[in-house]
């Protein structure tokens, strides 16, 4: 039976209910648990080595939390059950294992939480409450997803630590810069408070900032992590800066930044620093990240420097983000966040992204070419060319000038020192006019540094018969989710609503992908954006159990890249499912691969029905298939309403219950 015979002392089932959750099932460690992590298990659950498809399953709630009475935790878990995920997300059950006790959850539910700012938020998932039966300590929890399709394997994730405790916080201190410091009670800076907590070996402390204004955050001078989190909140609006370091680095891993009174001023930092990927991750909870500077603003002729909001694999829950690039890349969890006015990627490499809103997100202004200089040769040579080596905006690019095919001069671009004389486009113009006989150059624009010239490698280009104009642009495009460092197994992207964006919505490329679910997402591309014409959804590479269902992409078609060769060629297995989506078109770029289950999608009027598909409906376009997709209203209308199909998911983008038959796309 499910559970792999781990020797649990207690095993029970939750009620079989679907829809809005009532009383959640509960679980507590067994009587054999001593308070030491793992002591309640006769043997610990083990995730089997993957030899076939597994469910996708990720935590909906950060681990390592302390609780006094009970704590609700959950996972989002699902699998393709031979062409459908209705109505239990393709699973027989999820089993929760906690220190020798196990509990079966038979159906997913919608569960409403109150977020850090007092707002009710509802999320689908497999939910359970951890109970505190009197014993304090560190309890380990595993989740096991059991697929309905018997040819698949179970997936086990964990252990995740949680801490039943007599008190929620072992220390509680105040930060008030204008008041006298009182050791152990009140401090004049966040750094001083956290440093004192480190000296006390704090496990799960609370820091409350009671005076508003700007608080510059500095290092505590040594690395530390507790068992739980160091929660930092503010009773008055606070702006967090990192002007002294350039990045916000306390050196305390496991910071829980809580509440909308905390605003990170991203114009003062390159990121929030995390010391080690093996230590407690940071948790950003209802706080704000804002860079008020213009998105296209340059610093020393380059794109604003910002390297993800946080180093390593942070948790982001109900966070507001504005003006940031690569916002939540590499995150463990991105839940209920709002992303506005940013550029580059949104949450590439995130393990789970659920119920997020993306608005006005584009790299188009940076990619727009600007005429930077003209160069012309006026001498007696029969030919004269210019070439530029290297990739866009990288180090040590070389501009080579040739006459009759022979190099007469080179200019090595410096990317690091604006004062070097080799950094700006004007430096190149000055070099040509001062150093090259019979050559002349004219400066047209000097706002971008010379490393951004042309884009990528420029082959030898004629500069004799007429003046050659060379442009600058930054090779940054925007992805919703893209692989980071080859990571592509056990990923879920669910319930994204995006409008006025210029993103690649669904783009899986050369890396292998497995057990990846992309569901209930709806994004409308801004057709006025410079990048609009180049944006397509595309699937490529080796894919096993990659599922894309009930997505609405009104004006971005899908390319299935069987035209690629090698590791980039699209090669789906029989567990892959592409169904109940809305695209302008679905195009096999070369021969169709019949292993993919391709059915019940809706395409624009005039689109060809793709080979090896079934149930495809055709009609309408981006303007009339939805109520108003351009402003984020993806309710179906017109031909989309007229062509329902069997529902593949019980819940839609907004958490509404789908019937057995429903509109294709993200909204029922």
Q: What is the pLDDT of residues 71-85, one digit of tens each?
A: 999 999 999 999 999
Residue 152 CA, chain-centre distance (Å), reads 27
Supply the pTM of this predicted model.
0.95
pLDDT of residue 645: 98
Pairing of strands 645-646, 661-662: antiparallel
Domains of the chain by residue range: 10-164, 172-232, 325-366+477-662, 372-471
Residue for token digits 């008190």? 167
pLDDT of residue 9: 32
322-327 contacts at long range (C-beta below 8 A, 24 or more positions apart): 322/288, 322/289, 322/290, 322/291, 322/292, 323/266, 323/290, 323/291, 323/292, 323/293, 323/295, 324/266, 324/289, 324/291, 325/476, 327/289
Q: Which of 243-252, 548-557, 572-581, 604-613 is predicted with the least confidence, judged by mean pLDDT?
A: 243-252
pLDDT of residue 13: 55
Distance from C-alpha of 207 to C-alpha of 217, rounded to nearest angstrom: 14
424 has pLDDT over 90: yes
The encoded tokens of residue 257 equal 């930044």
pLDDT of residue 20: 53
What element of type H or E holds 587?
Answer: strand 586-588
Q: How many CB atoms lie within 10 A of CB 17?
A: 14
| 8 Å CB contact between 473 and 339 | no
Q: How far is it between the farthest Cα atoms of the chain?
A: 94
φ, ψ dihedrals at 52, nearest 5°? -145, -170
Distance from C-alpha of 17 to C-alpha of 175, rounded to nearest angstrom: 46
pLDDT of residue 21: 52
What average pLDDT score do residues 224-245 get? 95
Is the peptide bond prior to 87 cis by the omega test (within 30 degrees of 0)? yes
DSSP letters of 473-487? ------BSS--STT-
What average pLDDT score do residues 431-435 get? 98
3-state secondary structure of 455: coil
Pairing of strands 101-105, 206-209: unpaired
Three-class HEC string of 219-266: CCCCCEEEEEEEEEEECCCEEEECCCCCCECCCEEEEEEECCCEEEEH
pLDDT of residue 473: 96
> For all residues of the chain together, what is the average pLDDT?
95
What average pLDDT score do residues 169-190 get? 98
11 has pLDDT over 70: no
pLDDT of residue 555: 97
What element of type H or E holds 425?
Answer: helix 425-435
Q: How many CB atoms lie within 10 A of CB 355?
A: 21
Question: What digits encode the pLDDT tens for the residues 107-128?
Answer: 999 999 999 999 999 999 999 9
Question: What digits encode the pLDDT tens for the residues 263-315?
Answer: 999 999 999 999 999 999 999 999 999 999 999 899 999 998 777 889 999 99
| 8 Å CB contact between 127 and 73 | yes
Q: How many CB atoms lie within 10 A of CB 162?
A: 26
| 8 Å CB contact between 250 and 219 | yes
| 8 Å CB contact between 326 and 343 | no
Question: What digits encode the pLDDT tens for the residues 501-517?
Answer: 999 999 998 889 999 99
Question: What digits encode the pLDDT tens for the residues 12-38?
Answer: 555 444 455 568 999 999 999 999 999
pLDDT of residue 12: 53
62 has pLDDT over 80: yes
Pairing of strands 558-560, 522-525: unpaired
Pairing of strands 582-583, 602-603: parallel
pLDDT of residue 16: 41
Pick the CATH number of 10-164 from 3.40.50.800, 3.40.50.2000, 2.60.40.10, 3.40.640.10: 2.60.40.10
DSSP letters of 320-335? EEES-BSTTTT-SEEE
pLDDT of residue 228: 98
Q: How many CB atoms lie within 10 A of CB 543?
A: 24
| 8 Å CB contact between 505 and 521 | yes
Helices (H), 132-228: 190-199
Distances in Å between the alpha carbon of 28 and those of 44, 103, 229?
16, 10, 22
Q: How many CB atoms lie within 10 A of CB 459?
A: 9
320 has pLDDT over 90: yes
Q: Which of 9-23, 189-203, 344-358 is predicted with the least confidence, judged by mean pLDDT?
A: 9-23
| 8 Å CB contact between 480 and 496 | yes
What average pLDDT score do residues 441-452 get? 98
Q: What Rg, from alpha-carbon coordinates, does the chain have?
A: 28
What average pLDDT score do residues 596-619 get? 99
pLDDT of residue 3: 31
Q: For 318-467, where are the E strands, in sequence order?
A: 320-322, 333-335, 338-340, 352-354, 357-361, 370-377, 384-388, 398-403, 406-412, 439-443, 458-462
Q: Is the Cα dihedral 505, 518, 329, 524 positive or negative?
A: positive
Q: How many CB atoms lie within 10 A of CB 337?
A: 26
pLDDT of residue 525: 97
| 8 Å CB contact between 281 and 305 | no
If we measure between CA atoms, which residue out of 616, 623, 587 comes closest to residue 602? 616
């Amino acid at each position: 039976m499910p559970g792999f015979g781990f020797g649990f002392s207690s095993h029970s089932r939750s009620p079989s209910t679907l829809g809005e959750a009532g009383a959640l099932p509960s679980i507590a460690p067994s009587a054999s648990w001593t308070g030491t992590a793992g002591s309640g298990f006769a043997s610990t659950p083990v995730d089997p080595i993957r030899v076939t498809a597994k469910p996708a399953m990720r935590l909906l709630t950060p681990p390592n939390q302390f609780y006094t009475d009970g704590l609700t935790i959950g996972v989002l878990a699902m699998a393709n059950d031979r062409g459908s995920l209705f109505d239990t997300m393709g699973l027989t059950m999820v089993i929760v294992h906690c220190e020798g006790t196990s509990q079966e959850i038979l159906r997913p539910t919608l569960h409403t939480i109150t977020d850090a700012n007092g707002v009710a938020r509802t999320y689908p998932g497999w939910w359970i409450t951890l109970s505190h039966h009197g014993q304090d300590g560190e309890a380990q929890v595993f989740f096991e997803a059991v697929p309905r399709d018997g040819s698949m394997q179970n997936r086990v994730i964990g252990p995740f630590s949680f801490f039943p405790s007599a008190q929620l916080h072992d220390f509680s201190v105040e930060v008030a810069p204008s008041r006298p410091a009182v050791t152990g009670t009140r401090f004049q800076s966040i750094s001083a408070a956290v440093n004192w907590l480190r000296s006390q070996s704090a496990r799960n402390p609370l820091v409350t900032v009671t005076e508003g204004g700007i608080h510059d955050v500095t290092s505590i001078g040594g690395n530390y992590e507790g068992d739980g989190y160091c929660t930092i909140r503010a009773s008055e609006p606070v702006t967090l800066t990192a002007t002294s370091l350039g990045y916000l680095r306390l050196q305390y891993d496991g910071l829980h930044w809580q509440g909308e009174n905390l605003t990170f001023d991203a114009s003062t930092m390159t990121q929030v620093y995390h010391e080690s990927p093996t230590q407690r991750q940071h948790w950003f909870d209802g706080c704000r990240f804002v860079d008020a500077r213009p998105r296209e603003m340059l610093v020393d002729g380059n794109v604003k420097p910002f390297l993800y909001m946080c180093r390593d694999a942070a948790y982001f829950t109900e966070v507001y983000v504005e003006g940031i690039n690569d916002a939540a890349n590499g995150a463990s969890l991105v839940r209920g966040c709002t992303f506005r006015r940013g550029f580059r990627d949104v949450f590439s490499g995130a393990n789970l992204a659920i119920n997020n809103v993306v608005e006005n997100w584009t790299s188009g202004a940076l990619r727009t070419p600007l005429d930077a200089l003209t160069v012309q040769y006026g001498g007696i040579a029969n030919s004269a060319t210019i070439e530029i080596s290297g990739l866009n905006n990288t180090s040590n690019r070389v501009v080579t000038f040739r006459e009759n095919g022979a190099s007469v001069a080179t200019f090595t671009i410096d990317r690091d020192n604006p004062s070097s004389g080799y950094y700006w486009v004007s430096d190149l113009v000055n070099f040509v006019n001062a150093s090259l006989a019979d050559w002349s150059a004219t400066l047209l624009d000097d706002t971008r540094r010379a490393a951004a010239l042309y884009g990528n490698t420029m082959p030898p280009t004629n500069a004799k018969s007429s003046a050659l104009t060379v442009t600058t642009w930054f090779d940054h495009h925007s992805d919703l989710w893209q692989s980071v460092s080859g990571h592509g197994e056990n990923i879920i992207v669910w319930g994204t609503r995006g409008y006025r964006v210029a993103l690649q919505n669904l783009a899986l490329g050369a890396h292998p992908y497995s057990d990846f679910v992309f569901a209930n997402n709806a994004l409308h591309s801004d057709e006025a954006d410079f990048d609009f014409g180049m944006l397509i959804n595309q699937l490529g590479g080796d894919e096993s159990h990659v599922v894309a269902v009930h997505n609405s992409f009104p004006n971005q078609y899908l390319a299935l890249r069987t035209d690629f060769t090698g590791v980039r060629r699209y090669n789906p297995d029989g567990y892959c499912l592409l169904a109940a989506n809305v695209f302008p078109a679905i195009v096999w770029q070369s021969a169709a691969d019949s292993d993919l289950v391709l059915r019940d999608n809706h395409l624009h009027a005039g689109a060809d029905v793709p080979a090896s598909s079934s149930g495809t409906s055709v009609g309408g376009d981006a303007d009339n298939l939805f109520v108003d997709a351009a402003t984020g209203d993806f309710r179906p209308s017109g031909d989309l309403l007229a062509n329902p199909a069997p529902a593949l998911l019980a819940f839609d983008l907004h958490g509404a219950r789908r019937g057995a038959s429903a509109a294709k796309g993200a909204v029922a």
